[in-house]
Amino acid sequence: MPFTCFLCSANFPKVFSFKNSLSIHEKSVHPNNKIIPHSQCLTSPFLYDIHQFKQSFVMQLKACLQFHRSEPRVKTLKMEPFSEGLFIVLFYNESTFQYSPAKRMYTCKFKGSQGYEQLGILFDNKNWGSKKRWTGTCAYVLMQNTQQTYDVTFCWKECVYKDSDIQLRCGSMRFEFNVDVRDFVEGN
């Protein structure tokens, strides 16, 4: 089965024998691609759906933030089914947004304190990534500390589920992030 690069010129399309070869080609010839060949087929979400997602995301993320003491650790929040159009509307204008037609996958990364602030604007909630206890303990999405800067990744991918003769295709969004817990003392 041939795999065609839809990002190359229509006059000179490149065809590959293997999907992996197409994926390697995309990474080397079309890095940081923002072209979505099938964009005219996608439906745009309603403003209500966008607002509901933002609130739902923050609530589900805060539920993942636990107060257990440990070193910073990587966590993943998965939301499914997730509209491809919603992912595009939310992240397309970000500088790190990219799409891989071969993998049917979108990614968008945010880095450091500037990324944290940008996500606060995106989610209409400046405290989107932290959860406080009455004791002053705070669990939060770690994006920067004195030693290093961390990034968070949003990833949309089409998933295929099969059950006997039924096949379901749906989008899945993963949010990968680091967590840390600290005690903060409020000033008098």
Q: What does the pLDDT read at residue 11?
A: 65
Q: What does the pLDDT read at residue 48?
A: 97
Residues 6+ apart with CB under 8 A from 88: 36, 39, 42, 106
Contact in structure between 13 and 5 (CB atoms under 8 Å): yes
Q: What does the pLDDT read at residue 184?
A: 58
Query: Could you give the residue ranges of the DSSP H alpha helices within 12-140?
Result: 19-29, 47-64, 84-91, 112-122
Residue of higher predicted confidence among 38 and 129: 129
**Verdict on whether the full-model pTM lies above 0.75:** yes
Contact in structure between 26 and 37 (CB atoms under 8 Å): no
Residue of higher predicted confidence among 140 and 3: 140
- Reply yes or no on whether the pLDDT at 119 is more than 80: yes
Q: What does the pLDDT read at residue 21?
A: 80
Question: Which amino acid does the sequence have at 9?
Answer: S
- Reply yes or no on whether the pLDDT at 188 is more than 50: no
- Helix, strand and coil content of the chain, in percent to the nearest 5, comes to 25, 35, 40
d(CA 119, CA 130): 12
**Percentage of the chain modeled with pLDDT above 90:** 54
- Considering all CA atoms of the chain, what is the largest pairwise distance in Å, rounded to the nearest integer? 70
Over residues 24-42, the mean pLDDT reads 84
Dihedral (CA of 67, 180, 115, 57) sign: negative
Q: What does the pLDDT read at residue 2?
A: 79
- Reply yes or no on whether the pLDDT at 185 is more than 60: no
The alpha carbons of the chain give a radius of gyration, in whole angstroms, of: 19
Residue of higher predicted confidence among 86 and 146: 86
Q: What is the mean pLDDT of the chain?
A: 89
The residue ranges of every structural domain in the chain are 1-31, 32-183
- Reply yes or no on whether the pLDDT at 176 is more than 90: yes
Q: Which region holds residue 19: left if phi is over 0, alpha if psi is between -120 and 50, else beta? A: alpha
Q: What does the pLDDT read at residue 152?
A: 97
pLDDT band at 72 (very low <50, low <70, confident <90, very high): low
